Structure 1
């Protein structure tokens, strides 16, 4: 019989392995890794342990190396087990005896004594983690001078952001839910809030959407019945925003599973859109659009607060693949606009090649973003673009990293 809590730790170990060895996302790896874990609490614990290991991996490795005479190989199982044991003590405040009872059995047939000795030595030293996670060297090189500020935004997982169907009820919903609002149509709640149990969920008064992710659709304004294409639309937060703002929305995406979620959200919120499953690189519209929102596929490094796996599985190859795809999508989207139409491009990436590099090469007429269109505390760049990162609005809980730009077709 399994030791209580052991399945959750075994699942966390499998999640870490899936990310670091196979390059999978945490979300994709979760299905198989959590299959034998019973109960929502234990599944959430496994995800939390894996997330903290990936967020603090560089610092956890430094502690482990400080207590070993011979450095453990990077892919050695004892290192991974020690990472998750230390993450529980130092980040989740799990008692050391419980960590030992559920950690050492993961090394059945292996060097339990070594792991026990290293863990006990570090606990006796009363070691601690730095205030800010240390980013992998490759990340620091890519993000340059922004890296240390961004790292500061990773220390604590993000709060829960809600986008409201009716921005006119912002104050009312903030009061009902006990949250705060950083701009009309937005309410922020503490992390850990059970979404399905919150007032307003069943009647579709709001949906979950990071504050930064809600900005691109806002930049198109009120639709007044005009036609808009939400390109790469699923899982649908921007589609819901556009529909609630009065646009005649065509929501296009290739993923059947993600489009099913989009349709569920449309049903729940009682909003409407024409949903099209197609490959954007092959599909052709039957008429031009008044506006297009391209929230393009990207490396998603801007979501590192909630998806710390991106810190370890994204490199030059993935960035190059995404930039090539984004270039093709931008070219097609620009051709589908009517004269006078507006295009908004967004990526939840911190990589300049996916943001600034793409915007600088588009041949449409720039339509600069104004400071009055943004949440207080954010400002556009000198080019009229918007760049956000997890260090911004830190006192209010931060936000995801995005690049957003806007153009008009003349």
Structure 2
């Protein structure tokens, strides 16, 4: 007899194994075909199961700990974690337990632990949702939690962890009329002008998708373009442009947009989105440092970074990464800022931003850029836009956004941005 739901569960287990064991990111696995063998409904289920397990992994481990004398092999531990997630969300115990016992039994190295898996999951089933809910909010893995606490304090990090555990609503940027998009989709207009939908469904089925009235973009990610103000007729470079939300914003605002990114696949998606919403931009597949056209009124540099600000939507990140590559990213950001400044015309503006929670990828980068270029100025006034709270402004003149902000509205991604103005004469 075929085990109902087994293909999705086996794939979710494979995703967890690759993320927690091999350090691979969810989007990389999906792009590599991890879900292609599944039926459509099983694809959604496998991704949802893996995502929920990652989001609640620390709580699942604490729930399992009393029933384990020692931590079992990863193959078994990830099966138990998935079992906890399903049992504590109300799935029938019989089907869940049998499925994960079978997954453990299919591996020759762990088949002897079928009995353990069965016994532990049946005890978890007895605790159920009540046992799950009495546990504390999952903690961020220590390698990341420690620098976050050092930067923002324990109370702020606890707020971020609550936002990470809750996940992210769906945010839309309207092409022209946020109020009309909110009315059509059943969303709410946020203080900064994005439209938020708390209930998520198939994006392409939402009203206005086919007619190009909006695109998906987290509210925090939409702010860097807003601080440029009126961009009508300005020559603007979007450096590191994919996935393209900012290029679409600039084009919708009337700018002459050049979008550059080194990924041909991701730039093809940018071009598709431009076409869907009826906007135009010049697109170039190029390494940022190989792009040397100058004379731009503004450059928007959303620099490659740790992406630690996106954990609400990508809970795999703190389990796939360990921070070892972040030093190279920070060094790259420094030289990218200098390169971007060289592409501006005299008096032009650079919006530097990263979707990071680490000050070394935000506040510190701007402080060091100002030290390298004494004539460079920070445009603090540019940050005076609707929806920005005064306490989000930083000492060096930037804007710090965090997941624990807007707790009653559903939070936001972690982000940093600053507007730097190039002096009328070239750097010396």
TM-score tier after normalising by the smaller chain length: over 0.9
CA deviation map 1:35-80 (0-9, x unaligned): 22112x2211111111122122222112222102x2124x431111
Aligned equivalents of 2:386, 2:220: Cα separation in 1: 10
User: Are 2:101 and 1:104 equivalent residues in the alignment?
Assistant: yes
User: Are 2:122 and 1:115 equivalent residues in the alignment?
Assistant: no
User: Measured at CA, do residues 195 and 141 of structure 1 come closer, stay the same or move farther in structure 2, by a change above 3 Å?
Assistant: same
Aligned equivalents of 2:84, 2:9: Cα separation in 1: 12
**1:279-298 equivalence runs, <5 A:** 279-285=287-293, 287-298=294-305
- Bigger drift between 365-374 and 176-185 goes to 365-374
- Bigger drift between 204-213 and 324-333 goes to 324-333
Q: Which residue of 2 aligns with 1:140?
A: 145
Q: Which residue of 2 aligns with 1:208?
A: 216
CA deviation map 1:360-398 (0-9, x unaligned): 111321111556314255632233211112111011111
Aligned equivalents of 1:184, 1:349: Cα separation in 2: 20
Q: Which residue of 2 aligns with 1:397?
A: 410
1:313 CA drift (Å): 2.5
User: Measured at CA, do residues 173 and 283 of structure 1 come closer, stay the same or move farther in structure 2, by a change above 3 Å?
Assistant: closer
- 1:160/1:193 contact within 8 Å kept: no
1:191 CA drift (Å): 3.8
Aligned equivalents of 1:252, 1:263: Cα separation in 2: 11
Alignment coverage as a number of residue pairs: 403
Aligned equivalents of 1:55, 1:184: Cα separation in 2: 27
Aligned equivalents of 1:165, 1:261: Cα separation in 2: 18
What SS class does the counterpart of residue 15 from structure 1 fall into? helix
**1:168-187 equivalence runs, <5 A:** 169-183=177-191, 185-187=193-195
CA deviation map 1:101-144 (0-9, x unaligned): 32221112511110010111222244214352222222221101
User: Are 2:170 and 1:160 equivalent residues in the alignment?
Assistant: yes
Which of residues 399, 414, 421 in structure 2 aligns to 1:386? 399
Aligned equivalents of 1:200, 1:151: Cα separation in 2: 33
1:185 CA drift (Å): 4.3
User: Are 2:88 and 1:80 equivalent residues in the alignment?
Assistant: no
Which of residues 107, 129, 132 in structure 2 aligns to 1:128? 132
What SS class does the counterpart of residue 35 from structure 1 fall into? coil
Q: Which residue of 2 aligns with 1:222?
A: 230
RMSD: 1.7
User: Measured at CA, do residues 217 and 376 of structure 1 come closer, stay the same or move farther in structure 2, by a change above 3 Å?
Assistant: closer
1:147 CA drift (Å): 2.0
Aligned equivalents of 2:57, 2:116: Cα separation in 1: 20
CA deviation map 1:178-204 (0-9, x unaligned): 110014642111242221111111111
Q: Can you give the 5+ residue segments of structure 2 that lack an aligned partner in the other structure?
A: 424-428
Aligned equivalents of 2:298, 2:38: Cα separation in 1: 46
Aligned equivalents of 1:310, 1:184: Cα separation in 2: 27
**1:1-400 equivalence runs, <5 A:** 2-30=2-30, 31-39=32-40, 41-68=41-68, 70-73=69-72, 75-90=73-88, 92-109=89-106, 110=111, 111-126=113-128, 127-129=131-133, 130-144=135-149, 145=153, 146-166=156-176, 169-183=177-191, 185-285=193-293, 287-362=294-369, 363=373, 364-368=376-380, 372-375=384-387, 377=389, 379-400=392-413
Aligned equivalents of 1:315, 1:374: Cα separation in 2: 37
CA deviation map 1:222-253 (0-9, x unaligned): 22211110000012100000011111001001
TM-score normalised by L of structure 1: 0.94
- 1:158/1:191 contact within 8 Å kept: no
Q: Can you give the 5+ residue segments of structure 1 that lack an aligned partner in the other structure?
A: none
Aligned equivalents of 1:353, 1:316: Cα separation in 2: 13
1:347 CA drift (Å): 0.7
Aligned equivalents of 2:321, 2:363: Cα separation in 1: 19
- Bigger drift between 343-352 and 53-62 goes to 53-62
TM-score normalised by L of structure 2: 0.90
1:281 CA drift (Å): 1.6
Aligned equivalents of 1:377, 1:46: Cα separation in 2: 39
- 1:179/1:187 contact within 8 Å kept: yes
User: Measured at CA, do residues 369 and 78 of structure 1 come closer, stay the same or move farther in structure 2, by a change above 3 Å?
Assistant: farther
User: Measured at CA, do residues 335 and 376 of structure 1 come closer, stay the same or move farther in structure 2, by a change above 3 Å?
Assistant: closer
